[in-house]
């Protein structure tokens, strides 16, 4: 297949691009390098410097490269940043997706895999969330992704675009060979701060809230290794190429949760270093607990996670940040 990967020089997109090429697919990476890095590009991919909000370039790239399918990773993904700068998130994530869909129609590309998020569910009170649960996002990031999902659904109904929507839970970790990982210095997710503090690059780590109704009062998340997320995309792409007039949504998570303090203790164990932390008040937009019911992706895409181990997630994340070039 000829696959256009938007955001393919970023964290998750680079993993997917590498794994696609390893399976014999032809990959064109389309990225504005705002949070991506050329060093993450596979030597066999074609790279186009571009923005998903460009009115004409995406369609031209699709036509020139005879693209069969789009993997759409390009997005802003920080919940706190989305609260501070909501319009940036709607412009990039929502308008950007709309513009990409318009370019797909211009170029005659009718297959897309869309990166969504568990943030679309909001502060659910259920033990597990399924794909059919009501979408009630509590922050602009989650809302921007709901808009993307709904646009895809409407374009599917009106113009016949086939799509798979993958709702990620909390993606973390790095490749076992230490070649790919999260590099963005402005990253604001838990594992960035855990590794930076374990390595002494941060004096202390902030824990936002210890009064949630959870095992130890800190937020509980369904952490999933980035390699398992990348593999879900491979299976989704290969499924989609054999389908027409197809639209499905899948949760991507392990269905087991760990609290912030449990993740911190595990990172201490694998790194051999203490992680000082300070408890602060709850952060706006953070739910108490979000866990995936992922039976659907396992049955329909035959997705079998390989790295469902918090120690593996912590160790690969730590080793990546501790490499000599980091």
- Torsional class of 165: left (φ above 0), alpha (ψ -120 to 50), beta (otherwise): beta
Tell me the sheet residues that pair with 252.
168
Residues 52/99, Cβ–Cβ less than 8 Å: yes
Q: Which residues contact 211 (CB under 8 A, 6 or more apart)?
A: 217, 282
Task: Give dist(CA 32, CA 127) in Å, integer.
Answer: 38
> Catalytic pick from 11, 30, 89, 141?
141
- List of long-range contacts for 243-246, beta carbons under 8 Å, 24+ apart: 243/162, 244/160, 244/162, 245/156, 245/160, 245/162, 246/162, 246/163, 246/164
Of the candidates 3, 157, 144, the residue with the CA atom closest to the CA atom of residue 66: 3
Task: Give dist(CA 198, CA 185) in Å, integer.
Answer: 16
Residues 116/148, Cβ–Cβ less than 8 Å: yes
141 among known catalytic residues: yes
Catalytic residues: 141
């Amino acid at each position: 297949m000829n696959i256009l990967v938007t955001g393919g020089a970023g964290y998750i997109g680079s993993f997917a691009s590498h794994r696609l090429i390893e399976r014999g697919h032809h990959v064109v990476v389309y990225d504005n390098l705002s949070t991506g890095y050329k060093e993450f590009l596979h030597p066999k991919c074609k790279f186009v410097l571009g923005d998903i909000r460009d009115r004409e370039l995406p369609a031209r790239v699709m036509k020139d490269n005879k693209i069969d399918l789009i993997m759409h990773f390009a997005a802003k993904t920080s919940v706190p940043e989305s609260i501070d700068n909501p319009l940036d998130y709607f412009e990039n994530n929502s308008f950007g997706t709309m513009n990409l869909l318009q370019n797909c129609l211009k170029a005659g590309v009718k297959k897309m895999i869309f990166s969504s998020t568990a943030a679309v569910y909001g502060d659910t009170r259920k033990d597990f969330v399924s794909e059919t649960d009501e979408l009630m996002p509590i922050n602009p990031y989650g809302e921007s992704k709901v808009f993307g999902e709904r646009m895809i659904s409407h374009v599917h109904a009106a113009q016949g675009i086939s799509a798979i929507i993958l709702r990620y839970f909390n993606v973390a970790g790095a490749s076992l060979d230490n070649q790919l990982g999260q590099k963005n210095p402005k990253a604001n997710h838990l594992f960035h701060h855990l590794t930076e503090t374990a390595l002494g690059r941060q004096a202390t780590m902030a824990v936002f809230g210890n009064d949630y109704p959870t095992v130890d009062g800190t937020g509980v998340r369904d952490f999933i290794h980035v390699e398992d997320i990348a593999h879900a995309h491979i299976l989704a792409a290969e499924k989609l190429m054999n389908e027409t007039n197809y639209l499905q949504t899948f949760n991507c998570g392990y269905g087991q949760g760990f609290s912030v303090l449990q993740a911190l203790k595990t990172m201490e164990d694998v790194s051999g270093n203490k992680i000082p932390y300070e408890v602060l008040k709850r952060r706006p937009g953070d739910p108490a607990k979000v866990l995936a019911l992922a039976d659907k992706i396992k049955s329909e895409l035959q997705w079998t996670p390989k790295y469902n181990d918090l120690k593996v997630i912590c160790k690969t994340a730590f080793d990546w940040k501790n490499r000599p070039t980091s």
